[in-house]
Structure 1
């Protein structure tokens, strides 16, 4: 229910209301590029850590997926709300501008998360299904072999008992066979005589009744001709519709054959990518982008239009996604953050790379571009891209792992627990450093 309704609702509403007009994306071009930059640094670095410590494939995917992708919406929105209420450094309407920047950042980060990230963790589901299928095949083959062995033993026992019975009853059966042969010969002679009598009687009856049958057939043929003459030509409509139906079936069959031929030439990774695009969160993202292009329809749904009740209902439905993610995280951590087979020092190194090294590199790039006015000079713009670099992992990872690969719930929940515990320090330091850089330039 969370994956099918709550998460798509919040993604759809945030994406559709992220940008007022599509032309503003030209001025805010660095926001989607910064999403690519942050994920492009975080994902390979965490994957490299997993490979250094030789984690198995299934654990590596859970490890990389749970840590690499940041919480790009809930925490930045809360921080923008709190910082604009405490300082006037960001000017008037700083909260509204910050929300617009965050939602624009979400356009690319959502696509990366639900297309690339979801397909990455879904490989665990595919591998586990293949392993289970192979195990079922082995079990069925062993059971079939055991059944064949038992059947052969039973058949051998039956044959042996039958041979013993035949050896015991052979002399008595010879006399019984002679009596049966005599009785069968007498019965055959009697049946031959009876058949001859019946054939004579049937021949007489057929000669007498043939004339009657011919008369009756003549009458019925004449009646049929009269009926056919008086019958209307309504059957032509039926044949017309039937021909249309047959032609439609032929067209559908030809289209299916063409589609099957085209799909046979498409590589398997592309087929999986297309399949992943059909997930509810990805469809919600694409629909939100379409509504940005069709802004008159978007204004009817969200901006106090005639259908604004639909937009408000979707927002209320999407607000349950965060609460559901927290419930799933708390349920998985009910026995403490000790689940999984990942060593503690591997988690420490990965969190240090993800929440210290990657933010320092990203903030350095952001500040260089902001210092030379390559990106907009708005302080809130710089604050948003820096905070997006420092956020802890996404809570939605707990939902996705719970659905796609339930065996990784303990590992994912443990990683998220330690990541959010670490973010109390790293996120605070990141905010302080960002504000110092803003005050230094301004």
Structure 2
């Protein structure tokens, strides 16, 4: 397969994303006004609670088996490493570039979370169908291409809706805290406004002075206070222990919330249905008694990618005008995703292969390597819309990273 053929295969899914994004941007303009801000938020909630869980469940239940989970045990580790190294590089970029606090989570998320879903579902099977594919017979290659891509999508969804979800939620909290601080700073200081009855006449100044002046108590009172110090210290230690366990409870509660998020929960259920044969036979196959359930879920899941892309395009119309994202930040994300991470990925895959951790299938090696070279996950846009933070900046960042992805995917595929 030559460079031009690979460029065509790698460009097709990217061009699909860009075309649908342009359509979403046009739908959000004042000329059509089909996707105003309120509509995008409502549609985004449907994507989060219905479409994305349906897509993840349908793909996992149909394509992944228990034997696959055992044979492909290294893929979860590989996906975890993409998030780990990407997160570290994103954190370094944040520390160097010092963006606004509410943008830190977005930059780390785009550096660490790759599009392990729809791009893999399009690119990997398409490479198998091309003449002169380096992965051998078309039928043999295609028979494993879709399961590889589906498993990759499920693993990516699990990490995205736990790790990345927490990053964007933290950014939202920082953003709301900054907004609250700005609103407080804009409030008039009524204490400085004087009238016929000032604070001086009320005697409030004397009270403030009394608080600020050092105490001149007798030595006896000072001694009694020192004797009471051990009791105070003990109570402080008790409070610290209580706060420690309280923090653990809060962390566990947050983890439970993330695991119970609709996409994550559907991925877990999909794993069970795919791994347990009698459950799978209930809904998968022409003779399955409940196959209509799987067909309905697949139908719903098919709306995920178009809706996410339309929302991103709608946000782009406002983002190009109002987004405050420095070009150096866009360049940093592009360098991390398309230069540094792929180099790390080649090293990880070669090391795992030399240690005997990987099967001999070259397509499996390719899938593991390409997981390090993908553009940012589109679900990040869903999260920014869900938490109402950095939506415009996210759309601008996606525009440039997906434009560069056409060339970068081709280069790394050839490598």
TM-score (norm 2): 0.70
1:115 is aligned to 162
What's the offset of the Cα at 1:132? 5.8
CA distance in 1, matches of 2:187, 2:253: 31
- Could you tell me which residue of structure 2 aligns to residue 361 of structure 1? 344
For residues 16-165 of structure 1, the aligned pairs below 5 Å read: 16-20=61-65, 22-86=66-130, 87-88=132-133, 89-91=135-137, 92-130=139-177
Which runs of 5 or more structure 2 residues have no equivalent in the other structure?
1-45, 199-244
Bigger drift between 59-68 and 86-95 goes to: 86-95
CA distance in 2, matches of 1:59, 1:428: 30
Q: Check conservation: 2:118, 2:153, Cα contact below 8 A.
A: no
By how many angstroms is 1:320 displaced? 0.6
Could you say which residue in structure 2 is the equivalent of 1:317? 300
Question: Which residue of structure 2 aligns with residue 381 of structure 1?
Answer: 364
Q: 1:137 to 1:361 in 2, by over 3 A?
A: closer
Query: Which SS does the other structure have where 2:399 is aligned?
Result: helix
Q: 1:373 to 1:276 in 2, by over 3 A?
A: closer
Point out the more displaced range, 102-111 or 350-359: 102-111
Range with bigger deviation, 86-95 or 392-401: 86-95
Deviations 1:138-180 (A, max 9, x none): 999989x99xx9999xxxxxxxxxxxxxxxxxxxxxxxxxxxx
Asked if structure 1 preserves the Cα contact closer than 8 Å seen for 2:94 and 2:108, the reply is yes
Distance 1:367 1:338 in 2: 44
Match of 2:36 in 1: none
8 A Cα contact 1:46 1:67, kept in partner? yes
Going from structure 1 to structure 2, the CA distance change for 1:52 and 1:130 (only over 3 Å counts) comes to: closer
How many residue pairs end up in the alignment? 325
Structure 1: 5+ residue stretches without partners: 153-262, 434-442
The 1:331/1:151 distance shift into structure 2, 3 A limit, reads farther
Change (3 A) 1:58 1:90: same
Does the CA contact (< 8 Å) of 1:90 and 1:379 recur in 2? Answer: no
Residue 180 (structure 1) aligns with: none
For residues 376 and 310 of structure 2, the distance between their equivalents in structure 1, rounded to whole angstroms, comes to 16
C-alpha distance in 1 between matches for 2:372 and 2:176 = 36
More helix by share: 1
Residues 307 and 407 of structure 1: CA distance in aligned 2, closer, same or farther (over 3 Å): same
Among residues 8, 11, 31, which one is paired with 2:56 in the alignment? 11
Aligned residue runs from structure 1 range 295-306, under 5 A: 295-304=277-286, 305-306=288-289
Q: Deviation string for 1:321-358 (max 9, x for gaps)? A: 10011101111222574652221122112211221111
